[in-house]
Structure 1
Amino acid sequence: MYIGKATDIPPGGFCAFQLPRDPSCASQARSLLAATMRDLTFPIDSVEDAKLAVSELATNAHTHATSMSRPELWVWARTCPAPELVVSVFDTHREIWPVSRDTDLLDEHGKGLSIVAALSSEMGTHHTRSRLTTSRGKCVWFTLPLPTGWPVATHVITPAMAASRLSEVLRARGIPATCRGDDSGAPVISVGALNIWMEANVFSWRTSRGHVSQPLIDLQEVAERIVNCHETAGVSASPA
Structure 2
Amino acid sequence: MAGGIPWRLENGGCAALPLPGDASIASVARAHVSSLLPALGLTVTDVDDVSLMVSELATNVLQHAIPHGGCAKAELWVYQRGDGNGHDELVVKAFDTLREWRGAPEASGRMREHGRGLEIIDILARGRWGHHPSRSRLSSPALRGKATWFALPNPRTRIARCRRHARTPVGEAQAAKVLRSLLVQRGMNRFTVRHEPGVSVLSAEDDLTVRCEGGTFRWHARTGECGELPVADITEVCEQLVRLSEAMDDVHVV
1:108 lines up with 2:118 in the alignment: no
Which residue does the alignment assign to 1:91? Answer: 96
Contact 2:195 2:201 in 1 (8 A): yes
Contact 1:170 1:177 in 2 (8 A): no
Contact 1:188 1:198 in 2 (8 A): yes
How big is the shift at 1:141?
0.2
1:151 pairs, out of 146, 158, 161, with 161
How big is the shift at 1:210?
5.3
Which residue does the alignment assign to 1:71? Answer: 74
- Of the structure 1 ranges 152-161 and 67-76, higher mean CA displacement relative to structure 2 is found in 152-161
TM-score calculated relative to the size of structure 1: 0.84
Q: Percent identity?
A: 33
How big is the shift at 1:181?
2.4
Residues 1-240 of structure 1 mapped to structure 2, 5 A cutoff: 2-4=7-9, 12-43=12-43, 45-64=45-64, 65-66=66-67, 68-81=71-84, 82-99=87-104, 107-110=111-114, 111-121=116-126, 122-133=128-139, 134-149=142-157, 150-152=160-162, 153=165, 157-181=170-194, 184=197, 186-192=199-205, 193-207=207-221, 208=223, 211-233=226-248
Separation (CA, whole Å) in 2 of partners of 1:24 and 1:145: 28
- The structure with the greater share of residues assigned to helix is 2
* Structure 2 runs not aligned, ≥5 long: 1-5
CA deviations 1:41-66 (Å, max 9, x no partner) are 45575221111011111001011211
How big is the shift at 1:228?
0.7
TM-score calculated relative to the size of structure 2: 0.80
How big is the shift at 1:107?
3.2
- AA partner of residue 246 (structure 2): E
Contact 1:60 1:106 in 2 (8 A): no
* Structure 1 runs not aligned, ≥5 long: none
Separation (CA, whole Å) in 1 of partners of 2:179 and 2:202: 8
Separation (CA, whole Å) in 2 of partners of 1:128 and 1:156: 24
> What's the Cα RMSD here?
2.9
Q: How many residue pairs were aligned?
A: 230
CA deviations 1:154-195 (Å, max 9, x no partner) are 666211111111111111111124233266562111134110
CA deviations 1:40-95 (Å, max 9, x no partner) are 44557522111101111100101121162321000111124241111000000113
Contact 1:91 1:138 in 2 (8 A): yes
Contact 1:129 1:136 in 2 (8 A): yes
Contact 1:204 1:214 in 2 (8 A): yes
Contact 1:92 1:136 in 2 (8 A): yes
Separation (CA, whole Å) in 2 of partners of 1:44 and 1:215: 23
CA deviations 1:122-154 (Å, max 9, x no partner) are 111000000112000001000011124241526
Separation (CA, whole Å) in 2 of partners of 1:25 and 1:176: 32
- Of the structure 1 ranges 184-193 and 40-49, higher mean CA displacement relative to structure 2 is found in 40-49
Contact 2:169 2:175 in 1 (8 A): no
